[in-house]
Amino acid sequence: MSIRERLSGNEAAATAMKQINPDVVAAFPITPSTEIPQYFSTFVDNGLVDTEFVAVESEHSAMSACIGAESAGARAMTATSANGLSLMWEMIYIASSLRLPIVMSLVNRAVSGPLNIHNDHSDAMGVRDSGWIQLFSETNQEAYDNLIMAHRIAENKDVLLPLMVCQDGFITSHSIENIELIEDEKVKEFVGEYHPEHYLLNRNEPIAVGPLDVQTYLFEHKYQQAEAMRNAKKVILEVAKEFEKLTGRKYGLFEEYKLEDAEIAIVCMNSTAGTTKDVVDSLRERGIKAGLLKVRVFRPFPAEEIAEALKHLKAIAVLDKADSLNGVGGALFEDVATGMYINKTTIPMASYVYGIGGRDTTAKDIESVFSDLIKDSKKEKIENPYRYIGLRKE
């Protein structure tokens, strides 16, 4: 029997961490993720977990402490946002290259500058190619569920990569929603204990962690990381099937919402999917065959599967809550477009950058995108495929 609660996204993340009861949590506060270690520290203080909580002097130190703990054989977790993730930059790559299955809750926020504490995806997009698995969460429920599944994915012997669970700052992190929690004992059983094969404190196998890796070996080690990321796709689906048996909640690489018979569709991530679903429902009532593909797993990117799911459409809009500043759209658009091309699927497609720095994106804005798609679906080629939503032109 699940436990019905009302929690913010940050509370949900902290609750998942409490139920997982990791060996080490190292964190430094930064808005809007501060509440996660704050809530978790009360669990530590109240004796609800036996985690070693390390209050460090910076986010760089937080990830460094997680790397040290995980290298020693402990299960480690942390949380951060935006500039905090940027300060971790060096250590983010090191955690992945050392194949350490650290789990991080990333509460998405705009990266400075100029300074902005509100939501977009520029932090996650900045480290999209660092070798971390990236799961995105539309709701508080999904943020909680993704964290419960995270260690099973990251610690799999065929993966051994760090994993970040993303949710939208303030939009979900500070908003309270109804949520179904899993009983503590069931979470403990599902996640299991962590028994790494190789670790520094194993006296029977002396090893070095982080040695100099020159041209003789680095190429092969990077290939192994890439192979692990490819392996992760299968593992993510296997863990999701077990999670569905436990909870009844089904997760895939992405969610298709009224997409099967759609003629036009939006591709997006995180909380914007909720607004888009409402608009799709409204358009369907008017006889417009609109649909949505919500990406849950951004790394590894499910290019072939997304191309298959979208191949029947007449026009597609890909929404990015971060601009790659490359002149040709956002990161999600680039990956979708590449995946479609490689899988020999050519459909009129447009990139929409939106919501930068927390700019509101309303149902009216989403409906305007679908209006564009109706026009685009009648054309062989889309003119001006690089577009913006809600941008003031004055």
Q: Quick one: average pLDDT of 317-321?
A: 98
Residue 357 lies inside a defined structural domain of this protein: yes
Return the closest-CA partner of residue 64 out of 90, 36, 41.
90
Does 330 lie in the same domain as 260? yes
- Place 243 in a pLDDT band, splitting at 50, 70 and 90: very high
Structural domain count of the chain: 2
Query: What proportion of the chain, given as a percentage, has pLDDT over 90?
Result: 96
Does 208 lie in the same domain as 327? no
Does 360 lie in the same domain as 275? yes
pLDDT score for 381:
82
Return the closest-CA partner of residue 305 out of 271, 275, 345, 272.
345
Q: Answer whether 0.95 is exceeded by the pTM.
A: yes
Does 283 lie in the same domain as 147? no
Does 109 lie in the same domain as 212? yes
Residue 394 lies inside a defined structural domain of this protein: no
Does 372 lie in the same domain as 336? yes
pLDDT in tens, 176-212: 999 999 999 999 999 999 999 999 999 999 999 998 9
Q: What is the mean pLDDT of the chain?
A: 97
Taking 70 as the threshold, does the pLDDT of residue 347 lie above it?
yes
Residue 393 lies inside a defined structural domain of this protein: no
Question: Cis ω on the peptide bond leading into residue 131 (within 30° of 0)?
Answer: no
Residue 195 lies inside a defined structural domain of this protein: yes
CB 250 within 8 A of CB 244: yes
Q: Quick one: average pLDDT of 162-174?
A: 98
CB 198 within 8 A of CB 100: no
- 166, HSE (Cβ side, Cα atoms, 13 Å): 28
pLDDT in tens, 110-151: 999 899 999 999 999 999 999 999 999 999 999 999 999 999
Q: Quick one: average pLDDT of 1-15?
A: 94
pLDDT score for 394:
63
Return the closest-CA partner of residue 316 out of 357, 352, 278.
352
Does 76 lie in the same domain as 161? yes
CATH number at residue 99: 3.40.50.970
End of a domain among 213, 247, 281? 247
Q: Quick one: average pLDDT of 290-296?
A: 98
Residue 227 lies inside a defined structural domain of this protein: yes
End of a domain among 185, 216, 247? 247
CB within 8 Å of 166: residues ≥ 6 apart: 106, 107, 108, 121, 124, 134, 135, 136, 137, 269, 270
Residue 9 lies inside a defined structural domain of this protein: yes
Does 179 lie in the same domain as 82? yes
Does 352 lie in the same domain as 326? yes
CATH number at residue 350: 3.40.50.920
381 versus 258: the higher-pLDDT residue is 258
> What domain range includes position 282?
254-388
Does 229 lie in the same domain as 259? no
Label residue 289 exposed, middle or buried (CB < 10 Å: 0-12, 13-18, 19+). Answer: middle
- Place 383 in a pLDDT band, splitting at 50, 70 and 90: confident
Separation between Cα atoms, residue 290 and residue 270, nearest integer Å: 19
pLDDT in tens, 47-86: 999 999 999 999 999 999 999 999 999 999 999 999 999 9
Does 312 lie in the same domain as 186? no
pLDDT score for 2:
84
Question: Cis ω on the peptide bond leading into residue 29 (within 30° of 0)?
Answer: no
End of a domain among 195, 217, 247? 247
Does 355 lie in the same domain as 236? no
Taking 70 as the threshold, does the pLDDT of residue 233 lie above it?
yes
Taking 80 as the threshold, does the pLDDT of residue 1 lie above it?
no
- Place 36 in a pLDDT band, splitting at 50, 70 and 90: very high
Residue 372 lies inside a defined structural domain of this protein: yes
Residue 99 lies inside a defined structural domain of this protein: yes
Strands, E assignment, the chain? 3-8, 24-27, 52-55, 76-80, 103-108, 133-136, 163-168, 176-181, 254-257, 264-269, 290-295, 297-299, 315-320, 349-353, 386-388
Least confident of 1-10, 37-46, 317-326: 1-10
